[in-house]
Amino acid sequence: MHTDDLTDFYRGWMIEIVQQDNGFQSVCHSPARQRLDDDVMYSREFLALNAGRALVDLHLACQQFSGVLRELYELEKLDFEEWRSLTESIVDAVGVCR
């Protein structure tokens, strides 16, 4: 598969694989057009595609976990500082939950 651009769909997200001079990059778009990318160049299309899928999975897992933390906060199982600290640590560690 040697095309300039490859597009695939995964878990409702569109993943574009864009060929650059020095490799391939994956750019992911949600149905609401939220954009995710990891700014990494890959030597092969399938590596970029797999990275895009992993990025989508990571983002979705982060959203799920953030939702659980929010529920715990609303049930008063976490105080505000605990909720904020845990939520920020997810964003800092994962970097895709913006």
Terminal C-alpha separation, the chain: 33
Flag whether the pTM goes above 0.85: no
Burial 11-22 (b: 16+ CB within 10 A, else e): eebbbbbbbeee
Instruction: Give per-residue pLDDT as tens, 24-75.
Output: 999 999 999 999 998 899 999 999 999 999 999 999 999 999 999 999 999 9
Q: Does domain 5-94 have CATH number 2.60.40?
A: no
Other beta carbons within 10 Å of 31: 8
Query: Would you kindly state where each structural domain of the chain is located, as residue ranges?
Result: 5-94
Alpha-helical segments (H) within the chain: 45-74, 80-94
